[in-house]
């Protein structure tokens, strides 16, 4: 089946293009981007032109930042194409509800992806936690925005989500593996004085679960989740790729595919079965943090460090 | 049927108590409040004590601020009581999803109320707009927080929602009457430097709809919505209580009951039919505004004006 990739930036080139190249089900038949291209693939600059020129393309996969994503998503669905959304699926919850309704009306499949849920150890962690009672949980998600999003100013604009861009990956795992749903009871968000999205956040949830998100982490990067239960301890490390039970490595690598290959395999399944997969709970948790959170103003952030 | 009213503050005394007194279906059998009471009604200070002492009370109606509301709501549902929530139904969307699931599991009715949807002209406006195309809309919701929420500091705390406490009333009407759903495309929120919730907000939606919410309006108060359509103009004034078509008063007073009597009548219906009514779309719009909105810092706000 043929697909078009829209938004040829870092995530498209690092993850989507290799995953599609390795897929037995999908062929990259076109790209849409103001400036990015993929060698040997027909390139468009406007999605409307691609949709008109290439009725043979069944799936549109969107890697645009959240704010401009809606118009492209709507155009693809209106043209009767299946649609796959990089996370987060939009800038607002309301627009994603509208896309889900539109996909249903058009009889096509919509997949709001959460790539971290496809990490190797997530399914194993969910299976281990089933039926257990959480006593305490601690999520530490600390990475260097300069390394992972070099110069990407959109991430700190209104709607760019700031540290919730990686933090939502942790929340997508949390909302997947817990036996009972959580909700936020308090949050603190640190906004740089010169930016419109937070650079760090501390979240308190029910079930004694706490999260520490920070975009200013130089040196070692941390994407860890640790839970104490009534029947032992579980840790997920490396963004859901490594599992430990009571401090010992515990395999649990239930998926043999990488995250993005697994997403494209799942998309093929959804199309075959004629269904959608739109779980907004990670994004609801982020919206709740923005609504409920206390805001602190912290020092300015620039991607370019001042030289001595 | 007997009910207990929890949170005996301004809204409970101004609206709920008279509405219940006038209801043919409900009897106010108990109150729960740290300090407030209603003459002639058994008063408790803890909801757990009321639930234990009064198994004859079928409905709990909560008028607490959003942040402390969840624990009381959960206690009532766990005790097998029907539950009615003042707007907004909670401090987070996730917790209201959890309450809806709990109500379903317990086999009781949950009603997330939006009193402004019961205003006299709302049903008429919805009927008139059906099948028409919106060209432009303008919502002006400007009131004096000192008049309507005197000294209520919680409204400016994190999770208190600030100007969205009245603004969500406009959004509850908007999401009820429009033929097609809207979503936010941009927002600006003004936070007083000494407060954690916005005192004013300007919202831009799809369908060329704009909203102007302000909590600093002295003198005349405004709760207006105006729409231009392909077949004329509609205005809703006085918070949804008065309707004009093409500038002329147009009756449209489809409900003869006041807003709160209509809510209690609807609650009785839900209990009779064994169903719930939990439409979170107004709250989703508010969460979207907090998530997507630009934040401006404006001057400090104090309830007590400085004397000369």
Write down the domain spans for chain B.
2-112, 116-253+287-298
pLDDT in tens, B120-131: 999 999 999 999
Count the Cβ atoms, other than its own, within 10 Å of residue A294: 14
By the 8 A CB rule, do B93 and B121 touch?
Answer: no
What is the β-pairing status of strands A184-192 and A294-298? parallel
**Distance (Å) from the C-alpha of residue B88 to the closest C-alpha of chain A?**
12
Q: Which of A91, A184, A294 sits opposite B292 (nearest CB)?
A: A91
Task: Going residue by residue through chain A, which has 308 residues, state the pLDDT in tens, using 9 for 90 and above.
Answer: 999 999 999 899 999 999 999 999 999 999 999 999 999 999 999 999 999 999 999 999 999 988 889 999 999 999 999 999 999 999 999 999 999 999 999 999 999 999 999 999 999 999 999 999 999 999 999 999 999 999 999 999 999 999 999 999 999 999 999 999 999 999 999 999 999 999 999 999 999 999 999 999 999 999 999 999 999 999 999 999 999 999 999 875 666 789 999 999 999 999 999 999 999 999 999 999 999 999 999 999 999 876 64
Record: contact B287-A93, CB cut-off 8 A: yes
Q: Which of A184, A196, A294 sits opposite B196 (nearest CB)?
A: A294
Tokens of B146: 């000192």
- Residue to mutate among B179, B287, B295, B297, with most A CBs inside 10 A, is B287
Assign domain A2-112 one CATH number from 3.40.50.720, 2.70.50.30, 3.40.47.10, 3.40.50.150: 3.40.50.720
| Closest-CA residue of chain A to B101 | A181
Tokens of B304: 């007590």
A126 is catalytic: no
The residue annotated as part of the active site, out of A2, A10, A87, A147, is A87
| Closest-CA residue of chain B to A198 | B291
Q: What is the pLDDT of residue B307?
A: 62
Cis upstream peptide for B88 (omega within 30°)? yes
Assign domain A116-253+287-298 one CATH number from 3.40.50.970, 3.30.360.10, 3.40.50.300, 1.20.1440.230: 3.30.360.10
Tokens of A116: 């971290």
Chain A: which residues have CB within 8 Å of chain B?
Answer: 67, 70, 91-95, 97-98, 101, 158-159, 161, 181-184, 186-187, 191, 196, 281, 284-288, 290-295
Q: How far apart are CA A38 and CA A42, in angstroms?
A: 8
Q: How far apart are CA B89 and CA B67, in angstroms?
A: 10
Q: What is the pLDDT of residue A204?
A: 98
Q: What is the pLDDT of residue A296?
A: 96
Q: What is the pLDDT of residue B253?
A: 62
Task: Write b or e for each residue in B170-189: b if 16 or more Cβ atoms lie within 10 A of its Cβ, otherwise e.
Answer: bbbbbbbbbeebbbbbbbbb
**Distance (Å) from the C-alpha of residue B79 to the closest C-alpha of chain A?**
19
Q: Report residues of chain B scoring pLDDT below 70.
A: 252-255, 306-308
Record: contact A291-B286, CB cut-off 8 A: yes
Record: contact B290-A295, CB cut-off 8 A: no
Record: contact A291-B159, CB cut-off 8 A: yes
What is the β-pairing status of strands A42-44 and A27-32? parallel
By the 8 A CB rule, do A73 and A7 touch?
Answer: no
Query: In what side-by-side order are the strands of the sheet with B248-249?
Result: B248-249, B242-245, B232-237, B222-229, B134-142, B209-214, B200-205, B184-192, B294-298
Q: What is the 3-state secondary structure (H, E, C) of A63-93?
A: CCCHHHHHHHHHHHHHCCCEEEECCCCCCCH
**Distance (Å) from the C-alpha of residue B276 to the closest C-alpha of chain A?**
20
Q: Which of A98, A186, A285 sits opposite B183 (nearest CB)?
A: A98
Q: What is the pLDDT of residue A68?
A: 85
By the 8 A CB rule, do A18 and A72 touch?
Answer: no
Q: pTM here?
A: 0.94
Q: Which of B70, B291, B294 sits opposite A287 (nearest CB)?
A: B291
Distant-in-sequence, close-in-space partners of B55: CB < 8 Å, separation ≥ 6: none
- Residue to mutate among B67, B73, B90, B92, with most A CBs inside 10 A, is B92
What ipTM is given for this predicted complex?
A: 0.93
Helix axes B281-292, B164-177, angle to 10 degrees: 120
Q: What is the pLDDT of residue A233?
A: 98
Distant-in-sequence, close-in-space partners of A151: CB < 8 Å, separation ≥ 6: A303
Q: How far apart are CA A210 and CA A134, in angstroms?
A: 12
pLDDT in tens, B235-250: 999 999 999 999 999 8
Q: Which of A101, A291, A294 sits opposite B92 (nearest CB)?
A: A291
Residue B210: half-sphere exposure toward Cβ, Cα within 13 Å: 6
């Amino acid at each position: 089946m043929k697909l078009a990739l829209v938004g040829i930036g870092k995530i498209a080139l690092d993850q989507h293009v290799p995953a599609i190249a390795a897929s037995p089900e999908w062929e990259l038949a076109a790209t849409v981007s103001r400036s990015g291209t993929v060698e040997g693939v027909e390139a468009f600059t406007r999605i409307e032109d691609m949709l008109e020129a290439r009725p043979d393309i069944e799936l549109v996969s969107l890697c645009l930042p959240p704010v401009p994503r809606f118009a492209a998503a709507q155009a693809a669905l209106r043209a009767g194409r299946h649609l796959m959304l990089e996370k987060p699926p939009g800038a607002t919850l309301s627009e994603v509800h509208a896309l889900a309704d539109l996909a249903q009306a058009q009889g096509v499949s919509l997949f709001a992806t959460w790539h971290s849920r496809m990490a190797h150890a997530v399914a194993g962690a969910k299976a281990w936690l089933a039926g257990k009672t959480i006593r305490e949980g601690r999520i530490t998600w600390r990475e260097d925005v300069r390394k992972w999003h070099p110069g990407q100013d959109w991430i700190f604009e209104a709607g760019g989500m700031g540290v919730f861009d990686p933090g939502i990956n942790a929340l997508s795992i949390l909302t997947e593996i817990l036996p009972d749903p959580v909700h936020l009871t308090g949050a603190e968000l640190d906004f740089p004085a010169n930016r419109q999205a937070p650079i760090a956040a501390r979240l308190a949830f029910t079930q004694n679960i706490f999260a520490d998100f920070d975009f200013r982490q130089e040196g070692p990067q941390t994407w860890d989740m640790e839970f104490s239960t009534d029947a032992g301890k579980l840790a997920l490390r490396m963004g859901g790729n490594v599992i430990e039970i009571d401090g010992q490595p515990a395999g649990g690598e239930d998926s043999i595919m990488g995250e993005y290959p697994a997403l494209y395999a799942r998309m093929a399944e959804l199309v075959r079965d004629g269904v959608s997969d739109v779980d907004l709970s990670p994004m609801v948790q982020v919206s709740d943090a923005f609504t409920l959170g206390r805001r602190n103003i912290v020092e300015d952030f620039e991607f370019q460090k001042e030289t001595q």
